[in-house]
């Protein structure tokens, strides 16, 4: 009984935070607060907050539309405008939503952007996306932040300087212009202090999956846990409170030896531990999750839950060097890593989290995630001798989620892991 109450606490907190945020967004015409549209990977939430502005994340709106089964019709709207079938479905869903009155996930109308903060981090589509928004909102200023790719697997001092210069010369002046406020570094440093606290907590939370059974699912439930940190609350005291509460709840599950909570109920038996690469499908999110639940498969680590920052590799926002740490944060996001870095990271997850299998959910819409995934999978298979599997779906286009195809492949994969446990044991026993 008590665990149910405790569990509710973090969920209630998250719901309150998000609800408040969307109400605030719907009232900007009264409050005069300025609105910045921007992207999740390498987001500059703290900077936006430091100028007293409110962030809107079109990616998150799109995935919410997917979960609320609205993306199909939004995508059709965008296709009617001429966006082809091959265009990223987040983009089309977002544009379709705007064409339909820009009603956000909580039912409140979203305000138009006062600034488009185009942080380019490993995804070319972001540029095209905001070009489209610029046409939908004529005259809206665009601040471009170009994040250099970690081509050689490292961030050099020059790269950091380049980022800081762009912040100083392009991003901050535009924010000052739009918000009417001067840049205040001490205010930003204060916000970053909270960011680092939340980041410490989220790292601890995602490390709890090293336990057996894992107390949480780091992919399906993980996407809820990264909600606040990725949707503008990083740097707020509310986020710190939320993650403290969540961490407490999870520690309690660890103490009680409980498995993850899922929409189908608590997972009774942990049969397989997986590492998953790639975003989930949002339109059939629950059915997708259930396929794992039915087989007792728990995701113990995933790359997708790191799109908002690679904090587990040691990065923290640093109040002592605010702009440089924002720059480093952007360069360090998952889709900005090169393939060898991504392979090393996944290999580390597979080993440290004792995974039985590795799965790629390759997304038709997402080049920045999908390019190179087969190669990554091959290398992991060769390096670690781990069973691997590859499925394909899409972010928010319901036409590209084939339940029977995915079920067939996942069934095979889980049976593959199962049989491996049984027969390999027997064979080794016999030959021993």
Partner 1 sequence: MKKYYLGIDLGSTTSKAVIIDEQDNIIGRGITNTRSNYEVAAEIAKQSAIYNARFYLLQQRLHDVLEQHPEYKRYIKEMKDAFEYLQFSTRLERLRKQFLLTAETTAKDETLRNAMTAEVERIVREIQAETKEEYLEKDLGSKSQFFRDIVGEKYNEKVSRLAKAYFEPMMLLFDKSINPVENEMISFEFKHLVEESMNLLNEKYAHLADQKNAGHSIHFDAELNLLKGNYQTVSDSLKEHINYVSQEEFHIANMVGTGYGRALLPFPESCIKSEILCHAFGAHAIFPNTRTVLDIGGQDTKAIQVDQYGLVTSFHMNDRCAAGCGRYLGYIADELNISLNELGPLAVSAQKEVTICSTCTVFAGAELRELLNVGEKREDILAGLHRAIVMRAMSLLARSGGVRNEFTFTGGVARNQAVLKYVSELVLKNYGQDLTINVHTDSIFMGALGGAMFARRNIEVALPSKKKNQELAEAD
Q: Where are the alpha helices (DSSP H) in 113-257?
A: 125-136, 157-166, 172-179, 185-207, 222-225, 227-230, 237-256
Centre a 10 Å sphere on the Cβ of residue 80 and count the other Cβ atoms it contains: 10
| Radius of gyration, alpha carbons of the chain | 21
Q: Which residues contact 158 (CB under 8 A, 6 or more apart)?
A: none
- Burial pattern 342-355, b for ≥16 Cβ within 10 A else e, equals bbbbbbebbeebeb
Residue 209: cis peptide before it, omega within 30 degrees of 0? no
For partner 1, the closer of residues 134 and 418 by Cβ is 418
For partner 1, the closer of residues 72 and 227 by Cβ is 72
Q: Which of 71, 381, 396, 403 binds partner 1 (CB under 8 A)?
A: 381
Distances (CA, A) of 55 to 28, 49, 103, 164, 299: 12, 8, 16, 21, 30
For partner 1, the closer of residues 5 and 422 by Cβ is 422
Q: Which stretch binds partner 1 (CB under 8 A): 76-84, 236-244, 245-253, 417-425?
A: 417-425
For partner 1, the closer of residues 161 and 412 by Cβ is 412
Give min distance, CB of 430 to partner 1, in A.
4
For partner 1, the closer of residues 249 and 392 by Cβ is 392
Give min distance, CB of 402 to partner 1, in A.
7
Q: Which of 152, 156, 169, 415 binds partner 1 (CB under 8 A)?
A: 415
For partner 1, the closer of residues 81 and 423 by Cβ is 423
Binding mask 335-374 for partner 1 (x = CB under 8 A): ---------------------------------------x
Q: Which two tokens stand for residue 341?
A: 């870095």
Helix (H) / strand (E) containing 38: strand 35-38
Question: Cα dihedral sign for 279, 132, 108, 237?
Answer: positive
344 vs 364: CA distance, rounded Å: 24
Helix (H) / strand (E) containing 365: none
Q: Does 85 bind partner 1 (CB under 8 A)?
A: no
Q: Which stretch binds partner 1 (CB under 8 A): 3-11, 189-197, 255-263, 401-409?
A: 401-409
For partner 1, the closer of residues 100 and 426 by Cβ is 426
Give min distance, CB of 422 to partner 1, in A.
8
Q: What DSSP designation does 336 have?
A: G
Q: Which of 31, 161, 169, 419 binds partner 1 (CB under 8 A)?
A: 419
Q: Which of 388, 395, 396, 398 binds partner 1 (CB under 8 A)?
A: 388
Q: Does 53 bind partner 1 (CB under 8 A)?
A: no
- On whether the CB atoms of residues 113 and 56 are closer than 8 A, the answer is yes
For partner 1, the closer of residues 23 and 427 by Cβ is 427
- On whether the CB atoms of residues 57 and 77 are closer than 8 A, the answer is no
Binding site for partner 1 (CB under 8 A): 374, 377-378, 381, 385, 387-390, 392, 402, 405, 408-409, 411-412, 415-416, 419-420, 422-424, 426-427, 429-430
């Amino acid at each position: 009984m008590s665990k149910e109450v405790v569990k509710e606490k973090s969920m209630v907190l998250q719901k309150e935070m998000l609800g408040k945020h969307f109400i605030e967004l719907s009232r900007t015409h009264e409050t005069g607060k300025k609105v910045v549209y921007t992207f999740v990977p390498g987001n500059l939430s703290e900077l936006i907050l430091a100028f007293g502005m409110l962030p809107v994340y079109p990616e998150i709106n799109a995935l919410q539309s997917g979960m609320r089964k609205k993306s199909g019709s939004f995508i059709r709207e965008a296709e009617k405008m001429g966006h082809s079938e091959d265009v990223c479905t987040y983009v089309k869903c977002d544009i379709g939503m705007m064409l339909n009155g820009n009603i956000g996930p909580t039912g409140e109308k979203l305000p138009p952007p006062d600034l488009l903060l185009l942080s380019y981090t490993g995804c070319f589509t972001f540029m095209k996306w905001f070009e489209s928004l610029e046409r939908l909102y004529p005259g809206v200023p665009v601040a471009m932040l170009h994040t250099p790719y970690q081509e050689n697997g490292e961030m050099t001092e020059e790269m950091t300087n380049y980022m800081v210069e762009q912040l100083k010369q392009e991003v901050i002046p535009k924010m000052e212009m739009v918000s009417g406020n001067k840049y205040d570094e001490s205010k930003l440093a204060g916000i970053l202090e909270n960011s680092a606290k939340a980041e410490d907590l989220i790292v601890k939370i995602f490390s709890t999956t090293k336990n057996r059974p894992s107390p949480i699912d780091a992919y399906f439930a993980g996407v809820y846990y990264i909600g606040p940190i990725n949707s503008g609350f990083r740097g707020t005291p509310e986020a710190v409170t939320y993650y403290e509460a969540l961490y407490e709840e999870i520690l309690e599950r660890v103490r009680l030896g409980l498995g993850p909570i899922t929409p189908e109920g608590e997972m009774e038996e942990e049969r397989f531990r997986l590492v998953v690469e790639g975003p989930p499908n949002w339109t059939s999110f629950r059915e997708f999750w259930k396929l794992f639940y039915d087989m007792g498969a728990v995701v113990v680590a995933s790359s997708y839950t790191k799109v908002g920052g690679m904090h587990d590799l040691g990065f923290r926002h640093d109040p002592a060097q605010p702009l440089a740490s924002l720059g480093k944060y952007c360069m360090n996001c998952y889709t900005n890593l090169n393939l060898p870095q991504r392979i090393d990271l996944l290999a580390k997850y597979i080993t440290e989290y004792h995974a039985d299998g590795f799965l790629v959910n390759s997304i038709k819409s997402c080049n920045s995630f999908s390019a190179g995934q087969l190669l990554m999978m091959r290398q992991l298979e060769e390096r670690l001798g781990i069973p691997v599997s590859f499925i394909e779906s899409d972010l928010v286009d319901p036409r590209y989620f084939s339940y029977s195809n995915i079920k067939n492949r996942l069934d095979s994969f889980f049976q593959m892991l199962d049989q491996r446990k049984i027969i390999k044991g027997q064979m080794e026993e016999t030959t021993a």
